């Protein structure tokens, strides 16, 4: 009986390890350093969430915009109503500084 339990435990451990190695691959090659939730530094009622190429802008908890975005290095392009808007960004620790058309916003995680 002890051999069966040991064998079953070993099988479970091997299966768990195999699932962890093969099942945790990251197929998303478009992960941006911006991905995640950012709060406007001067106005915490404004929240920006970057995820899977979409910027979701919230104000006082309500979704106000869904804007497609892409990044290349520290450059960002938002596409609003089919029009590309070019900007730059830097992420330093938990601070995001993003600039579009001469206007700079500072957000924190």
Q: Does the CA dihedral 29-30-33-38 come out positive or negative?
A: negative
Q: Where along the chain do its domains lie?
A: 36-108
pLDDT of the residue at 33: 85
> At residue 52, does pLDDT exceed 50?
yes
Q: Distance between CA atoms of 7 and 13, rounded to whole angstroms?
A: 10
Does the predicted model carry a pTM greater than 0.95? Answer: no
- pLDDT (tens digit per residue) in 55-81: 999 999 999 999 999 999 999 999 999
- Confidence bin at 32 (pLDDT 50/70/90): confident
- Confidence bin at 19 (pLDDT 50/70/90): very low
- Confidence bin at 90 (pLDDT 50/70/90): very high
- What DSSP string describes 50-98? EETTEEEEEETTEEEEEEEEEEETTEEEEEETTEEEEEEEEEETTEEEE
């Amino acid at each position: 009986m002890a051999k069966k339990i040991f064998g079953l435990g070993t099988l479970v451990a091997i299966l768990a390890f195999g699932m962890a190695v093969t099942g945790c691959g990251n197929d998303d090659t478009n992960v941006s350093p911006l991905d995640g939730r950012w709060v406007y530094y001067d106005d915490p009622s404004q929240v920006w969430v970057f995820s899977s190429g979409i910027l979701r802008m919230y104000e006082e908890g309500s979704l106000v915009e869904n804007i497609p975005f892409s990044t290349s290095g520290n450059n960002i392009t938002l596409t609003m109503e089919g029009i590309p808007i070019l900007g730059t960004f830097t992420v330093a620790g938990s601070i995001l500084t993003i600039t579009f058309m001469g206007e700079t916003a500072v957000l924190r995680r």
